[in-house]
Amino acid sequence: MSCHVRAENKPDSIMKFTTLFRSLPVPGCWTAAAIILLQSGSGFAADLGRVSINDDWRFIKNDPADMTNSLRYPRAPRVARGRGGDSTNAPAPVPVPAVTSGIAAYILPTGNSFIADPAKRYPKPDGNYGGDISYVNPSFDDSGWRKLDLPHDFGIEGAFIPPGQSGSDGGTGRRPFFGVAWYRKDLSIPKADAGKQFYLDLDGAMSYATVWCNGQIVGGWPYGYSSWRVDLTPMIKPGAKNVLAIRLDNPPNSSRWYPGGGIYRSVWLTKTAPVHVSEWGTYITTPEVSANAATVNIQVQSENDSKTDASVTLTTAIYPVDALGRLDRSAAPVGGADGAVVIKAGGTATNSQSLRLANPKLWSPKAPALYAAITTLTQNGNVLDSYETRFGIRTVKYDPNAGLLVNGEHFKLNGVCDHHDLGALGTALNYRALQRQLEILHDMGCNAIRTSHNPPAPELLDMADQMGFLVLDEAFDTWGRNKTANDYGGGNLFNVWHEQDLRALIRRDRNHPCVVLWSIGNEVAEQSQGAGSTIAQELAAIVHSEDPTRPVTSACSDGNAMNNGFSTLLDAMGFNYKPDNYIRFHERYTNEFFFSTESASTISSRGEYFFPVIGPGFGTVNGRGRNGGAAFTSQDDTTHQMSSYDLYYPGWASSPDHEFFAQDHSLAAAGEFVWTGFDYIGEPTPWGNSRDPSRSSYFGIVDLAGFPKDRFYLYQAHWRPDYPMAHILPHWTWPERAADSKADPAKAAQITPVHVYTSGDEAELFLNGKSLGRKKKVFETPNNSRLNGEPAYRIRWDDVAYEPGELKVVAYKNGKQWATDTMKTAGEASQLVLKPDRSTIAGDGHDISFVAMTVVDKNGTAVPRSKNLIHFSVTGPGEIVATDNGDATELSSFQDTDRKAFNGLALAIVKAKRGQKGVITVTATSEGLATATTTIKLQ
């Protein structure tokens, strides 16, 4: 995190700033007190800084009927190329559209400070484009528009577009995320603020945003994943009402996954003196680090928007940040530096300071210690600006033979890729929802996240810093060529915006200790051009110029990319689904650090199991079939569910076990990023076509509602070897698989294979007390494996004849008992159970509790295949904002309070009403079942 903060207006108090940061879980700058200060304008400098303006916006879809202008941003429509990574037959690059007129001409100058060559910056056109549109007029009456708080995703609201209907695209989750949307907000700026600078900072708006302030066009930004700023200063009228109008124009066919639509990340108003630190103006590096001392280099870019040169003092004070993300600025700083700086009128100045910190606390995934640098500009005794930058002190070594070393300690990248949606909440950033995702991943032993395939919300990096995740920060899914008609590629955006977007990403994120790699692209068509890819060269050079401390990678799906020279344009080679290439690659490119940018893509539906199960060996997705002589069923094409034995994957992908094997047999391989940690909206492979009903992916280790699938435990077993755990699958309630001598004497008990995921090395399985054998994890030779041997990272009993009762596993490690798990046959569904993930939440209108509902029998055993319809309701100061069950085929609106259980589970997401206190009571009812209630207290 880096942002302007508030300081006291006394030079001798520089070291004693009053902290206005609220304590965790929400870091930085989110304070109601701060907003009041802004509105009351209590004196120069004391009320400068950045405040959230997320609350109280007005919203409407579509342009006004009276609009005569075309506000269309020029896009070059293209024919979709299908799946990424298939670089053969890629269409030719698209020419850059003319940007000398129309809306683009007014938006492009917004990115000027991210274009290195001044000659390539865009002139600001005269005139007031769109100024005659009623919605931008400050006196327009928007009281009829919907009132809402940001972040907001309009695409997640209401019904799914039914399969078969126009716009119903499985790839984007059958959601209406596209179209024009307008947002308006009144800003009250006190008279005393005359002479100050005002910036509107958006963490992300989807997409093609244009901003007007008081009826005047200000600028905008098209790429929906970038964070950006516009300067409102010339339009602001201190002492009067000021009106913001923001228009988004989110194109259809613009994504391979659900992009969401709307101002889906936070919006801030930053107020500074004319002399201030630039946007993302600090860059902190720690070139020398030891246990005794660290050198901290701080580069600060300041700007002077006044008409006279400014001589100021630039001071840095370093404070430790505690485990809850707080810093105590009343304590003495642990390091500091100051110096005199002159900034020319209308110009910028970049200054560097270097300081030594004794006995630094180092940041690492195991102990993520953080510091904050407070940069202060003072002039004649007045504090002009105070800017906080969080950073960590660590070394990272990218060793081509040994993988990733943080402070000299080896960390295998046990990572996941994730898209940005938060399940039923859509893409609207919610701090707690994201934090919950990271907590679940952390519990699994995941230590790394790839922000596939775009810049993440800044909050993700703040959390990753604090929780100790390593981040692969990715910029683009397409370069010169598109994957879908209106995506980023080619003439749509890449050709004119990639430099601005890439520099903005790196300047925003380069102080985060969690970020260890930059990815310039995912499965881009240009990987087939090998060392001749001029785009790869240019992008890598941009990254190096903004941050020479971290390597550049790109996710390569083309097996050829390792032979054709493409990998040599990168500092680190990223393999998508090529576990069998690691050893050969390392032999050939002995000096190249490499890892798997994307692995597995195994697909499953939580709680679904189909028989027969292939064994021994691994299958691919092709429904019912024979593989190497063994019959198997991977999926049910009627219910559109995938079996959860974690053996099935599309043709380009592999099982988790296969990737584990390859990683374990190449110590040089730095690790993997599994596709994906969580299910996401869209891309429901293998049922993505327009007739199929599915809405969300099957790739997740965790389902869309946040319920772990079996695979969670396979990864946990491998990634947390010291954590005693065992997990049995499948569930053990299969009345139709039992022998039934009364009804049908001929019917034998059916073979129901049992797999156990354990961090132990051996396990014994018992069915109703009878041992079915004690087995070790062993190497097997599956018929379809591209490797010679593939270890069973699971222990399997393939010939268990089903019998109701109790299935119990006792796992061993080094001969000693290590962990157990039990699966009991459930009776009839009888009652509901509710469990909130947190029973006390903040009454701030943003905090939420995730309430899990389980259908159980009369003994409290979960009924694993129950699909009962549940009705959720609340009383008290809260509301149910969404429900879900993790079923990829569920097409009832996410806002419905009636939700069918999916294999025993459903979820209600409960939000507190802003500014209220008291207790929310959540109730779940279902016909014929005993009701459940639970309570959530507001703090």
Strands 669-675 and 790-791: unpaired
What is the smallest separation between the CB atom of 683 and ligand GAL, expressed in angstroms? 6
Quote the Cα angle for 613-614-617, to 5°: 140
* Alpha carbon distances (Å) from 832 to 825, 861, 896, 902, 925: 17, 11, 19, 13, 8
Nearest residue (CB) to ligand GAL, 255 versus 353: 255
What per-residue string of b and e applies to 453-492 under the rule 16 or more CB within 10 Å gives b? bbbbbbbbbbbbbbbbbbbbbbbbbbbbbbbbbbbbbbbb
Q: Do 676 and 699 contact (CB within 8 A), yes or no?
A: yes
Which residues have a Cβ under 8 Å from the Cβ of 203 and sit 6 or more positions away?
Answer: 227, 265, 266, 267, 268, 429, 457, 458
Gap between the Cα atoms of 157 and 370, Å rounded: 38
Nearest residue (CB) to ligand GAL, 220 versus 686: 686
The residue count for the chain: 939
What is the smallest separation between the CB atom of 552 and ligand GAL, expressed in angstroms? 18
Q: Which tokens sit at 613?
A: 């199960």
Q: What torsion, rounded to 10 degrees, do the Cα atoms 653, 657, 658, 664 define? A: 130
Gap between the Cα atoms of 389 and 396, Å rounded: 20
Gap between the Cα atoms of 282 and 348, Å rounded: 13
- Picking from 904, 892, 893, 898, the residue whose alpha carbon sits closest to that of residue 852 is 904
The counts of H helices and E strands in the chain are 9, 51
- Picking from 828, 845, 855, 848, the residue whose alpha carbon sits closest to that of residue 931 is 855
Nearest residue (CB) to ligand GAL, 257 versus 850: 257
Nearest residue (CB) to ligand GAL, 232 versus 524: 524
Nearest residue (CB) to ligand GAL, 319 versus 715: 715
CA 790 to chain centre: 32
- The dihedrals phi and psi of 504, each to the nearest 5 degrees, come to -60, -40
List of E strands, 557-652: 572-576, 593-600, 624-627, 630-633, 635-636, 641-642
Q: Do 672 and 696 contact (CB within 8 A), yes or no?
A: no
What is the smallest separation between the CB atom of 171 and ligand GAL, expressed in angstroms? 9
Nearest residue (CB) to ligand GAL, 270 versus 596: 596
Q: Is 803 a catalytic residue?
A: no
Which residues have a Cβ under 8 Å from the Cβ of 741 and sit 6 or more positions away?
Answer: none
Nearest residue (CB) to ligand GAL, 85 versus 220: 85
Q: Which tokens sit at 634?
A: 């991977």
Nearest residue (CB) to ligand GAL, 421 versus 523: 523
- The dihedrals phi and psi of 505, each to the nearest 5 degrees, come to -60, -45
- Picking from 7, 67, 62, 70, the residue whose alpha carbon sits closest to that of residue 34 is 7
Nearest residue (CB) to ligand GAL, 523 versus 571: 523
What is the smallest separation between the CB atom of 686 and ligand GAL, expressed in angstroms? 10
What is the smallest separation between the CB atom of 193 and ligand GAL, expressed in angstroms? 46
Beta bridge partners of 920: 936
What is the smallest separation between the CB atom of 717 and ligand GAL, expressed in angstroms? 23
Count of other CB atoms within 10 angstroms of residue 704: 29
Q: Which tokens sit at 818?
A: 């290590």
What is the smallest separation between the CB atom of 531 and ligand GAL, expressed in angstroms? 22
End-to-end CA distance of the chain: 26
What is the smallest separation between the CB atom of 657 and ligand GAL, expressed in angstroms? 17
Q: Do 284 and 296 contact (CB within 8 A), yes or no?
A: yes
The helix (H) or strand (E) run that includes residue 757 is strand 754-758
Beta bridge partners of 518: 473, 552
Q: Is 736 a catalytic residue?
A: no
Beta bridge partners of 228: 202
Nearest residue (CB) to ligand GAL, 286 versus 604: 604
What is the smallest separation between the CB atom of 714 and ligand GAL, expressed in angstroms? 18
What is the smallest separation between the CB atom of 659 and ligand GAL, expressed in angstroms? 13
Of the residues 523, 546, 672, 764, which is catalytic? 523
Per CB under 6 A, residues contacting ligand GAL are 84-85, 522-523, 557, 576, 598, 601, 653, 675, 683
Q: Which tokens sit at 379?
A: 């002039």
For the four alpha carbons of 44, 48, 52 and 57, in that order, the dihedral sign comes to: positive
The helix (H) or strand (E) run that includes residue 814 is none
What is the smallest separation between the CB atom of 879 and ligand GAL, expressed in angstroms? 34
Of the residues 474, 598, 762, 790, which is catalytic? 598
Q: What letter represents residue 838's amino acid?
A: R
What is the smallest separation between the CB atom of 652 and ligand GAL, expressed in angstroms? 6
Which residue is at the shortest CB distance from ligand GAL? Answer: 601
Nearest residue (CB) to ligand GAL, 686 versus 878: 686
Gap between the Cα atoms of 7 and 45, Å rounded: 7
Nearest residue (CB) to ligand GAL, 436 versus 711: 711
Classify residue 660 by burial, with Cβ atoms within 10 Å: 0-12, 13-18, 19+.
buried
What is the smallest separation between the CB atom of 86 and ligand GAL, expressed in angstroms? 9
Nearest residue (CB) to ligand GAL, 603 versus 809: 603
Active-site amino acid positions: 523, 598
